[in-house]
Structure 1
């Protein structure tokens, strides 16, 4: 079954047709060793001085950032930046790292902490904890515990656990509802490092997963079967170089960032967009050996994308 059918709830045919005859341009928020907003003309319109892991630009222009650990925040942090540039601390990490922070439609924030006691929290705008439960990931390697956790429309939580080679779904009490194995069939020793980094629930129970060090992006159906897969064999070159973040656009296309893009192959893009048929329709290169950890596409050809972003 083609992915365009699986993503039918997101396909806006009029939007897709309007872009087919012209060059695609995007503006986006980039999170990584450098944090910035790039406009559609390829100019940086905003920067932030600290490295980040996750980020969102809300409809009112507010920016939510997950900060790397630093001298100022030894366990990482989550901050809110207003349109006027005022910064407010939402959460100061209490362990090794804060790895993601998703703003919800209810005005809360879903946050994950890595450390001796990995956990997921949901906090209000003032940072008061509303919900908390432990994550069922390995504890030996803190950095490789979890990444882009997201609250789903049904109130449950989806969390990729890298060294566990699985995407876990939890209820509000931390009970495991499902476990999606990202191991390549037959790879008993896990020689292909298909560590799940970003997991996007879409359509009728499907999950699109960036398997970072395994250099592949995979779509699973509701029963865990692989129904679509993108590898470097589908691309003009070794473009999937540690793919971390992804976003499903309203027209069903998928944008992917390769954290190591440009390091191994200077001609490999840092970000690119593919159609469900795996046709490349947009690329982003900047010539710098600085990785993009995650991102958010904000506009396409001057049109602001609908929210919440599927990322």
Structure 2
């Protein structure tokens, strides 16, 4: 006897509702929101405050995320296929990127750089160069010293590079060379043992130093561009597998603290914190009430807006929302764009247990989202 199918939507987020869910026109930061879904096809969406799509970029690579440059063009991190011969470790196909590009309003690619070792993030510098997170094989004698790591096929570590528009590498930094500065940071048990310390965010600071997030050891660092030394760290006593540290105009750092395997609190929840790097004190924090209502185990980010509000991307659930400095939600949108993560790419490059956890699921996950003032888009003026 054939099994009768229910008419009820089985994707939980779709069933709960998508699109615009909250909007206070008196308290929001007015502008347009830019985002793309990780399981998407290379479409970048720009929506107004009512949730209407006002523009799209169609790009030839599946997305990580995109943001606007000062010149109004789109800077985009995209995925390129992970062939079996460049498979580093089981989770590599899940967060490999591979290409960064600049595109104009029409979607024409003006500049492109491919690097098979690129993952998670790349950002344009003030001089017109590009900073990228990449990976490299860790020397065996160093790998044996990395705390908590057991990987028979070896360990890969993060390598930061700065490339000129020509693609020439102008500067590089190797995480394994700074083992003595990071060795006391415990590796989370949920981390793939083949990758240390698992960078997931990078940004150039106003003074030229580099701000980096290392998820695998729950640590955010500032690296001196001149000396290569780590000049500031915020670690696992505060953070739990965080993402997207961002420098603010007041010199503080905004961080999305995911909350996975939090060492200081047994409860699971996410929060956004503003930290004063001079004192390492938290000077502002947003969490939901009750706290477990707001949680994204992976990805996600936060942006401080010009009116003092904060735009938050609860990435895993495709939720973007805006809060005031008092923590009041004044705008909320849930992406209605769902597709199968990894696009059904269940082949020999993705182990079955990894695919079962992250692949084959219909999702609307967003790596990061950004709000921009209307004057950034003269093309939309009527």
TM range (shorter): 0.7 to 0.9
Judged with a 3 Å threshold, the aligned counterparts in structure 2 of structure 1 residues 22 and 297 are, in CA distance, closer, same or farther, namely closer
Give TM-score scaled by structure 1 length. 0.75
1:65 aligned to 76, 81, 94, which one? 76
1:261 aligned to 317, 322, 329, which one? 317
SS in 1 for 2:289: helix
- Larger strand fraction of residues: 1
In the other structure, the counterpart of 2:38 is 32
Matched, 1:245 2:267: no
Matched, 1:294 2:377: no
| Further displaced range: 110-119 or 159-168 | 110-119
Instruction: Give the CA deviation at 1:234.
Output: 6.4
In the other structure, the counterpart of 1:12 is none
SS in 1 for 2:322: strand
SS in 2 for 1:199: strand
Instruction: Give the CA deviation at 1:69.
Output: 4.1
In the other structure, the counterpart of 1:93 is 115
2:173 aligned to 109, 112, 133, which one? 133
C-alpha contact (below 8 Å) 2:234/2:280 kept by paired residues: yes
Judged with a 3 Å threshold, the aligned counterparts in structure 2 of structure 1 residues 156 and 60 are, in CA distance, closer, same or farther, namely closer
Within a 5 Å distance, the mapping from 1:150-161 to structure 2 comes to: 150-161=203-214
SS in 1 for 2:216: helix
Larger radius of gyration: 2
C-alpha contact (below 8 Å) 1:24/1:281 kept by paired residues: no
Matched, 1:229 2:285: yes
In the other structure, the counterpart of 2:230 is 176
C-alpha contact (below 8 Å) 2:213/2:220 kept by paired residues: yes
Instruction: Give the CA deviation at 1:167.
Output: 0.3
Instruction: Give the CA deviation at 1:101.
Output: 1.2
For this pair of structures, how many residues does the alignment match?
Answer: 269
C-alpha contact (below 8 Å) 1:29/1:298 kept by paired residues: no
Matched, 1:142 2:195: yes
Matched, 1:163 2:163: no
Judged with a 3 Å threshold, the aligned counterparts in structure 2 of structure 1 residues 227 and 141 are, in CA distance, closer, same or farther, namely farther
- Name the CA distance, whole Å, in 2 between partners of 1:89 and 1:249: 28
In the other structure, the counterpart of 2:258 is 212
Judged with a 3 Å threshold, the aligned counterparts in structure 2 of structure 1 residues 141 and 226 are, in CA distance, closer, same or farther, namely farther
In the other structure, the counterpart of 1:104 is 125
Instruction: Give the CA deviation at 1:63.
Output: 1.6
- Name the CA distance, whole Å, in 2 between partners of 1:131 and 1:153: 17
C-alpha contact (below 8 Å) 1:29/1:57 kept by paired residues: no
Q: Tell me the C-alpha RMSD between the 2 structures.
A: 3.1
Give TM-score scaled by structure 2 length. 0.62
SS in 2 for 1:233: coil
1:82 aligned to 92, 104, 119, which one? 104
1:278 aligned to 327, 348, 359, which one? 327
Instruction: Give the CA deviation at 1:123.
Output: 1.2
C-alpha contact (below 8 Å) 1:252/1:275 kept by paired residues: yes
In the other structure, the counterpart of 2:159 is 119
SS in 2 for 1:260: helix
- Larger helix fraction of residues: 2
Q: Structure 1: which 5+ runs fail to align?
A: 1-18, 185-192, 263-269, 306-311
Judged with a 3 Å threshold, the aligned counterparts in structure 2 of structure 1 residues 124 and 22 are, in CA distance, closer, same or farther, namely closer
